[in-house]
Amino acid sequence: MLTDWRFWFSVPAVLALGVVVLFPTGFLFWMSVSHWILTEPGVYFYGFQNFATLLNSSAFHSAAWVTVSYLVLSTTIMLGLGFAFALALSRPGSPGYLRALIVMPLVIPPVVAGFTWRFLLNGEIGFLGAYLLPAIGLETNLLASPVGALFSVVIADVWSRTPFMFLIFLAALQSIPRDYYEAIRLDGAKRYQEFWLVTLPMMKGAVSVAILFRIIDALNTFELIYVMTKGGPGRATQTFSLLGWKIAFQGFDFGGAAALGVVMVFATTVVALIVFRRFMRSA
Amino acid sequence: MGSISKRIVRLTAAVGLLSATALPTFAATEINVIGFGAGFAWSDLFGASGTEKTQKLLDFEAKYDLVVNMEFADEEVARQKVLLDLVNGTGNYDLVMLGSDGAVQTFSAAGYLEPLDDYLSTATDIFDASKVYQPFLEANTVNGKLWGLPYYSFGAGVVYRKDIFDKYGITSFPETTEGLEQALQTIKEGLAADGVDDVYPLTMRGAPGEEPSLDLSGFVYAYAGYPAWFEGGPTTPDEIKKEKAQPIFTGDFKPGFETFVRWSRDYGPPGIATHTWVDMMNLYAQGKAVVLMPSAINAFAGIPGSEVPEVKEHSAFAPSPVGPSGKAVQSFWTFSVGVSAFSQNKDAAYKVLAFLTSEPVMRDFANSFGWPYTTYPEIMNSPTLTDRWPAEMLSQIEASFSDADPHYFPYIPELVEFMDQIGTAASSSIAGTTSVDESLEDLQGWASERMTRAGYYK
């Protein structure tokens, strides 16, 4: 292999990849088994103690529950909405301005989206929280209630990231050959059968890609939740990302934060593999 | 060709001369500073944008042959930049922003800060420590050493709407927490009877994280009569280790915690479990809160910009109420600045620090914003503030400095983490996610494990 000149062309790319991906990942793994707490002098090998402390903490358990709830809720709503919008606007002649309108939130940074929603939902001065919701009989202060706060960050995230799903589904829908629909219509299929027997099977690959992106995105969501609730009230919206930030920047426990990072890498990989095996291979 | 050679020679000579004359400028020692609050902090030096240099600063730079490079960032971002700079030991920032609610304790224990005691005598023409309110220096003193000099600082107090108190027959502000709770109940009932549903008797801060802990710890102190975090109330690592003092979050810590949570729930706005000092300030400024406590400075930050005439005309100050222990509810903080242990120019850095916290600079800060808070008695008792505020109020605020116990919570390296856990527990109970007992049980378990892991009970 070393004598093959083509091999040497790949070396720079492999080296670059090693520097920007492998080294930080390796460093993360090394940190996760190190005792590295700012308040306690000395960095040394700590075995799996960081993992044991993390997995036994109530903060980890509640963050796991919040992360899964957030992931499932936001992914389900996003997939549904993204698919529905794409179906509605995939037909030739559908208005372009509507597509632009749907895609618009995607260009707004998550921090700005978070602040916008925080002010909108504020129970004392927000347009939605203080005026519109009470006007229709919903007196609850969404951001201050544990369940309401979780729904609020899900809503903000759905608003912000559904356009991405929409774009994936729109592209996939527009790539389905029209012949398939014509053929099934000749066989006397009804509208719902067109959807069930042609659209859905042809969209399998796109859906799995969308789910994969979404899972990675949801597990890493930080800015939006941070500016909206800072993980609260209490720990009601404290996902793994926020917990990691707290462990590192409030607890100054870099080994503990790295251990959580490794858990997140592991969780993401497992879920991605499941999605890949379940959908992508058969797509 | 010859003419071109001559030109090159002349040009080279000119560049050489220019370089030589410019050399002194480049030789000036550069001091990098990081802080937050552009346009607010040191606006008399760096302008409203935080990127200018006023004549006052230029004069200082010229006099001491220094160049001050200020970097402003959002508070949270600045804190993280400071942490990363110190952890990596880069010394990129010579002066770092601190805070007496965690950063001073943690960074000094980690060896990231330069003790300032020996420097105090080196620039007395700029900064005289004996002229500063001593509790603000005490707040930055850990294990007998001074680690930061105070800039924006405050003590505890209450700002309230006297017109609303009068309306509901409360003629004087209660001196005890018990009396204040009765007053809050009276106001709550009065507002409800009048059909006012968007004004709340009380505003405090209950957001998750470290935010509520400064004020909540003040309640704990007033109810227990001592910093009731560990058995016997030790406040230093050595004392805790010596006595093997266990956490007492389910013990004497509870009454103050429970009161803070109950008051927030019963008299605060519905969103209080997510409120920061900014929300407190805004609610009071908008006339939606009757009492703001115990970090009264947050009301003074909002009053000048208020568009509600009653807020400007009828706001009054009262000393922080006394708890059942006979001690007042505390809230004491200094935004301080310290010298990085990794700075290559510590002497010059101290000079800049001395200047940034000097009396003339603090006087300009007081002039610009007019808040009745300053670190120098001389400014407090000068026309800069006496022309703007009633003498009685200024003396009460002055008393809130001198009567304060800056160490009303333990000064341990793990303080930031504890503040975060305590604040989050309070937020959780205020929101109703967990009961007070559940929150404190959780806190107790976490604290025991954390202190054991940190080696306090070997």
Rounded to the nearest 10°, the torsion over CA B164, B165, B166, B171 is: -170
Q: Say if CB B267 and CB B184 are below 8 A apart.
A: yes
**Which two three-digit tokens encode residue A182?**
């014509």
- Residue B396 inside a domain? The answer is yes
The mean per-residue pLDDT over the stretch B264-293 comes to: 94
Q: Which of residues 87-116 of B touch A (CB under 8 A)?
A: 87, 106, 109-111
What is the distance between the alpha carbons of residues A98 and A100, in angstroms, rounded to a whole number?
5
Q: Say if CB A233 and CB B428 are below 8 A apart.
A: yes
The helix/strand/coil state of B19 is helix
Chain A residues inside the 8 Å CB shell of B203: none
Query: A39: closest CA among A250, A242, A259?
Result: A250
Q: pLDDT-derived band of residue B137, with 50, 70 and 90 as boundaries?
A: very high
- Residue B152 inside a domain? The answer is no
Quick check: B420 and A246 CB within 8 A?
yes
Chain B residues inside the 8 Å CB shell of A59: 446
B299 shares a domain with B409: yes
The helix/strand/coil state of B71 is strand
Q: Which of residues 409-438 of B touch A (CB under 8 A)?
A: 413-414, 416-417, 419-420, 424-425, 427-434
A45: left (phi over 0), alpha (psi -120 to 50) or beta: beta
Give the number of domains in chain A: 1
DSSP B102-171: THHHHHHHTT-B---GGGTTT-TTT--GGGS-HHHHHTTEETTEE--EEEEEE---EEEEHHHHHHTT--
Residue B201, class by beta-carbon neighbours within 10 Å (0-12 exposed, 13-18 middle, 19+ buried)?
buried
- CB-nearest partner of B208 from A37, A53, A232: A232
What is the distance between the alpha carbons of residues B235 and B227, in angstroms, rounded to a whole number?
7
* CA dist A1 → A5, A8, A16, B437 (Å): 9, 9, 20, 67
pLDDT over 70, % of chain B: 94
Q: pLDDT-derived band of residue B292, with 50, 70 and 90 as boundaries?
A: very high
Quick check: A232 and B274 CB within 8 A?
yes
- Residue A36 inside a domain? The answer is no
The mean per-residue pLDDT over the stretch B279-307 comes to: 94
B394 shares a domain with B416: no
DSSP B203-234: E----SSSTTHHHHHHHHHHHHSS-TTBTT--
pLDDT given for residue A131 in this prediction:
86
- Residue A19 inside a domain? The answer is no
The mean per-residue pLDDT over the stretch A258-269 comes to: 94
Chain A residues inside the 8 Å CB shell of B431: 144-146, 232-234, 236
Q: Say if CB A102 and CB A89 are below 8 A apart.
A: yes
Q: Which of residues 23-82 of B touch A (CB under 8 A)?
A: 79-80
- Residue B219 inside a domain? The answer is yes
- Residue A245 inside a domain? The answer is yes
The mean per-residue pLDDT over the stretch B83-100 comes to: 93
Give the number of domains in chain B: 2
- Residue B153 inside a domain? The answer is no
What is the distance between the alpha carbons of residues B246 and B410, in angstroms, rounded to a whole number?
13
Work out whether the CA dihedral A166, A168, A169, A171 comes out positive or negative.
positive
Q: Bigger pLDDT: A273 or B438?
A: B438
Nearest Cα of chain B lies from the Cα of A231 at a distance, in angstroms, of 7
What is the distance between the alpha carbons of residues A88 and A121, in angstroms, rounded to a whole number?
29
- CA A49-A52-A57 angle, to 5 degrees, is 130
Answer yes or no: is pLDDT of B26 > 60: no
In the chain, the amino acid numbered B164 is: I
- Residue B458 inside a domain? The answer is no
Q: Is the peptide bond before B294 cis (omega within 30 degrees of 0)?
A: yes
Q: Whole-number mean pLDDT of chain B?
A: 93
Answer yes or no: is pLDDT of B25 > 60: no
In the chain, the amino acid numbered B212 is: P
B292: left (phi over 0), alpha (psi -120 to 50) or beta: beta
Q: Say if CB B42 and CB B152 are below 8 A apart.
A: no
B268 shares a domain with B192: yes
Answer yes or no: is pLDDT of B17 > 70: no
The mean per-residue pLDDT over the stretch B295-299 comes to: 95
Nearest Cα of chain B lies from the Cα of A108 at a distance, in angstroms, of 20
- CB-nearest partner of A143 from B110, B209, B274: B274
- CB-nearest partner of B433 from A229, A234, A250: A234
What is the distance between the alpha carbons of residues B218 and B323, in angstroms, rounded to a whole number?
10
Q: Which residues contact A101 (CB under 8 A, 6 or more apart)?
A: none
**Which two three-digit tokens encode residue B13?**
């000579």
What is the distance between the alpha carbons of residues B243 and B410, in angstroms, rounded to a whole number?
14
**Which two three-digit tokens encode residue A100?**
């632009």
Q: pLDDT-derived band of residue A137, with 50, 70 and 90 as boundaries?
A: confident
- Residue B283 inside a domain? The answer is yes
pLDDT given for residue B1 in this prediction:
47
Beta bridge partners of B322: B176, B328
For residue A253, give the DSSP letter.
Answer: B
Chain A residues inside the 8 Å CB shell of B433: 146, 233-236
Residue appearing with tokens 């504890």: B418
End-to-end CA distance of chain A: give it in Å, rounded. 34
Q: Which of residues 244-283 of B touch A (CB under 8 A)?
A: 269-274, 279, 282-283
What is the distance between the alpha carbons of residues B94 and B88, in angstroms, rounded to a whole number?
14
| Continuous H helices in B207-338 | 213-224, 237-243, 254-267, 277-285, 297-302, 309-314
pLDDT over 90, % of chain B: 86
pLDDT digits (tens, 9 = 90+) for A161-176: 999 999 999 999 999 9
pLDDT given for residue B20 in this prediction:
54
Beta bridge partners of B153: B334
Nearest Cα of chain B lies from the Cα of A86 at a distance, in angstroms, of 37
The ipTM is: 0.82
pLDDT digits (tens, 9 = 90+) for B332-380: 999 999 999 999 999 999 999 999 999 999 999 999 888 999 999 999 9
The mean per-residue pLDDT over the stretch B57-74 comes to: 95
- Residue B131 inside a domain? The answer is yes
Provide the residue range defining the domain that includes B290.
Answer: 158-332+405-453
A65-69 contact pairs (CB < 8 A, 24+): A66/A150, A66/A235, A66/A236, A66/A237, A66/A238, A66/A239, A67/A218, A67/A219, A67/A239, A67/A240, A69/A150
**Which two three-digit tokens encode residue A28?**
């993360």
Answer yes or no: is pLDDT of B310 > 80: yes
Provide the residue range defining the domain that includes A86.
Answer: 58-280
* CA dist A117 → A67, A76, B154, B205, B448 (Å): 20, 20, 32, 20, 38
- Residue A48 inside a domain? The answer is no
What is the distance between the alpha carbons of residues B387 and B10, in angstroms, rounded to a whole number?
63
What is the distance between the alpha carbons of residues B178 and B322, in angstroms, rounded to a whole number?
9
pLDDT given for residue A1 in this prediction:
67
For position A105, which CATH number holds?
1.10.3720.10
For residue B330, give the DSSP letter.
Answer: P
What is the distance between the alpha carbons of residues A8 and A19, in angstroms, rounded to a whole number?
17
B280 shares a domain with B227: yes
Nearest Cα of chain A lies from the Cα of B273 at a distance, in angstroms, of 6
* CA dist B120 → B126, B128, B146, B356, B440 (Å): 10, 8, 10, 14, 43
The mean per-residue pLDDT over the stretch A230-242 comes to: 93
B294 shares a domain with B169: yes
For position B219, which CATH number holds?
3.40.190.10
A40 touches chain B (CB under 8 A): yes
Answer yes or no: is pLDDT of B456 > 80: yes
DSSP B177-208: HHHHHHHHHHHHHHHHHTT--S-EEEE----S
Answer yes or no: is pLDDT of B19 > 80: no
B350 shares a domain with B323: no
Q: Say if CB A52 and CB A38 are below 8 A apart.
A: no
Across A150-154, A189-193, B69-73, B136-140, least confident range? A189-193
